[in-house]
Each structure stands twice: as C-alpha cells, then as structure tokens.
Amino acid sequence: MSDDQHSAELLAAARAAAKSAYAPYSGFHVGAALRFADGSVVTGSNFENASYGLSICAETAAVIAANLQGKRSGLVEVAIMGGPLGDDGALAPTAAPVTPCGRCRQVLTELAQLGETDPFVYSGHAGGYLEHRLSVLLPAAFGPANLG
C-alpha cells in the first residue's frame, strides 16, 4: 500500500467515526482515527456538554478508547476529519484542515511518548489533508520523562 493510500484509509476511518459525534452545540462533528504499529485502528468522536467548555474532543476520546483496549504503545499515525453533517447524514468536511487543539496535542503526546513514537498527524479537509509530525505540532512537549 502506498503512503497516500495509507493516509486516505485512516482519514476515511476518521470520517466514518465523525458520524457518531455528539455535537448539538457547535454542530461541528469530528472523528479521529489512531493507527498502531500492529496495523490496528482505534477511533473516537467528539462528545459535547451543555457546559460547553467540558466538551471532549475526538482525538482525546480516541486515546481513551485505545487505553481501554490496552494500547499504550506503537502509535504511528493519527487522522482527523471534521465539519457539519450534510442532509444525507454524512460528514461534509470543512475547507480548512482540522488540526488538533492544544489540549489534544498534549493528550496525543502522552500516548506517543509512552511508546517512544512520533506519529504522523493527518489533518483532513475537503480537498485533502495536511501532514505533520506530532512533535512539530507540539515542540518541546512536557511528557512523562519531564517528571523524572
């Protein structure tokens, strides 16, 4: 499989996960997909709260889901897609890329550093995606090693 097919497949998983988002306040449905070194994929979607600031982002939900499956190492790729739902109930991705928020960069970094990886992050948009290393999105991150 080419690198492009690889990222497209993970972005499709993120897009599918966005359909399960609970986003009645923002109307912005987000899906995140994590791929691990063994090829397994874990997804998450945002879960909002009537106290808006307590909303949980898709990336954080995916990290928690991975932990529930005992996955704490080998995070190699992350894909994110977001936007409103169209009349057909499917995600209509935004023109702007969905890069992870600051809190999610920190949460993803915890999982990545536990397994000593620096995953690619694919920030999806209607026309494709932006690709960054997580360490570029959150340079000089505070992680488990900084507690020592």
Interface residues toward ligand THU, by CB under 6 A: 23, 26, 28, 30, 46, 48, 55, 57-59, 80, 98, 100-101, 104
d(CA 8, CA 32): 13
- Residue 87 CB, shortest distance to ligand THU, in Å, is 20
- Residue 128 CB, shortest distance to ligand THU, in Å, is 17
Residue 107 corresponds to which tokens in the numbers above? 């949460």
Identity of the residue, 92 or 145, whose beta carbon is nearer to ligand THU in the bound complex: 92
Residue 132 corresponds to which tokens in the numbers above? 């960054």
- Residue 45 CB, shortest distance to ligand THU, in Å, is 7
139 CB-near residues (< 8 Å, 6+ apart)? none
Instruction: For helices 58-68 and 102-114, give the axis angle rounded to 10 degrees.
Output: 30
As annotated, the active-site residues are 59
What residues does 82 pair with on adjacent strands?
30
